[in-house]
Structure 1
């Protein structure tokens, strides 16, 4: 009986230590996240050709509005809006091309974002892009977003995570989702960046060196 008691006592200590470390981790980055980061630069000598990628799966309405907004973005260099179309209706594809976006259609028995991205990156390989900016179907770039991204690459960055914020808070659920987004931004992105660590990637609003991303996507599905 004493052996069982000692074993349970040890397990509780291990569990308590693990939870305490988690609390210290969150508290530390919560505090350092209160400090300001250096102001992002916007000026650059070279303006890299950028592919703004919208991996899209059966989103026939939202993608049109997002592309319209993206095409109006002001960037000092050249950029192209590319829709990676998986399961879009023919009418949607025609509309996107009419608006001025490039459309790469993908067809897979089992669709994944990784396979769609890999196919598109290989298709675009010869187009001379230096930066690949990945957006979700409902993402909208803020003013000068691509200029700031380009300036970061001017400082020899390979990957940049933009600050993603909620577009609306017109319901309780949307408000809670926005709060969750900002808590994660504060702890795992700004907090990390303040102490010189890499910010955690969110999955969209990310920019990669084009060839670096193409290399990473090899054999991903």
Structure 2
């Protein structure tokens, strides 16, 4: 009896792993053989009113750089709200009335609380808001490119978070990981008629939609973007992806930084896995293609966990179902091809290709992160940034 139960659970696990190995290949094939299911971008640009919310927790060293990049935008209709949570703001003095520095009276330690603190202190009723991290820099056409997508009728847009630093193998592999997710979960997913995933920053929304989705949320720790994307797609709306709305994001350059960050992310995945199941079931029962594909994406485990599960299934099937083992091998090759395609499509730099030899070490630190996932929000609230001046 126990053996039968174990076999059943193993079969369920295999189906789960196979779905997520097939998923990126399926999206790639849709891109190749099916007409573009996403809308074409408009060339019309209207200067809508933006609130640019920059959040910082404990560290403000990089704020002057992000402000400098924002003030270089080819755009005029915006105000910047810097929410300096648990920060010393004595060095945050700017001679521009577009920059508003806010220091909450009590420690918030929450992205959503920081965003709503900014919203509650808006100087005017901004039509749209965009969220930028304190370690980001923005491309000069960032808001212009967002507008091109908003003018097509979307209410939520995710831009590109391109690597700001490639100063270590960890940073390069972090960038490679980001490129893969950008290709599958943003580019291919939207081309297949679904929605882009959200990435925590470099994203923009109509202010009313953001408030509607998160006004009742009482959540600490990482993962607000996971809840937000669920709330948007469950409303039968689509999140657009803009390849030209670019922010430059600092990648994790040191192992301890990587472990703490990934521990928070893994914790978030386990915490919100139920949202993926709910989205998937909703998409199936309501025949909603957007929600169906998005639900599959939300249910996917972190890549290193998917790798370990795939290897385990392959090895076990060598002894019990050799034909299935061959299927796992073929899909594994297909997965690698899509990964390489992602690097080619987004023109990955040579440093990223050279760093791929260090993937086993990168995976090792993610295993360490998995072991710390349960206490992730106790050991780290936000990624600590090691200051290296970068200009753009």
How high is the TM-score relative to the length of structure 2? 0.51
Residue from 23, 26, 34 that aligns with 2:21: 23
For the pair 1:52 / 2:73, whether they are aligned, the reply is no
SS, match of residue 90 in structure 1: coil
- Cα distance, 1:205 vs. partner? 0.3
**Which range is displaced more, 51-60 or 109-118?**
109-118
- Cα distance, 1:43 vs. partner? 2.4
> Which position in structure 1 is the counterpart of 2:71?
71
Give unpaired runs (5+ residues) of structure 2: 219-392
> Which position in structure 1 is the counterpart of 2:101?
103
> Which position in structure 2 is the counterpart of 1:82?
81
2:131–2:201 CA contact under 8 A, matched in 1 = yes
- Cα distance, 1:173 vs. partner? 1.0
SS, match of residue 130 in structure 2: strand
Query: Where does 1:110-129 land on structure 2 (aligned, <5 Å)?
Result: 110-124=108-122, 127-129=124-126
SS, match of residue 25 in structure 1: helix
Residue from 152, 176, 196 that aligns with 1:199: 196
For the pair 1:217 / 2:218, whether they are aligned, the reply is no
The 3 A distance-change label for structure 1 pair 11 and 217 is closer
> Which position in structure 2 is the counterpart of 1:62?
62
The 3 A distance-change label for structure 1 pair 217 and 167 is same
How high is the TM-score relative to the length of structure 1? 0.87
- Cα distance, 1:142 vs. partner? 1.6
Residues 162-213 of structure 1: per-residue CA shift (max 9 Å, x gap)? 0111112121111101101100101111111111101000110010101221
Residue from 128, 151, 156 that aligns with 1:154: 151
Write the distance in 2 (CA, Å) between the matches of 1:189 and 1:154. 19
**Which range is displaced more, 22-31 or 178-187?**
22-31
How many residue pairs end up in the alignment?
214
- Cα distance, 1:136 vs. partner? 0.9
- Cα distance, 1:220 vs. partner? 2.6
Give the alignment's Cα RMSD to 1 decimal.
2.2
- Cα distance, 1:99 vs. partner? 4.7
The 3 A distance-change label for structure 1 pair 216 and 144 is same
> Which position in structure 1 is the counterpart of 2:9?
11
| Superposition misfits of 4+ residues, deviation over 3 angstroms | 30-42
Give unpaired runs (5+ residues) of structure 1: none
Write the distance in 1 (CA, Å) between the matches of 2:14 and 2:112. 38
2:66–2:136 CA contact under 8 A, matched in 1 = yes
The 3 A distance-change label for structure 1 pair 34 and 104 is farther
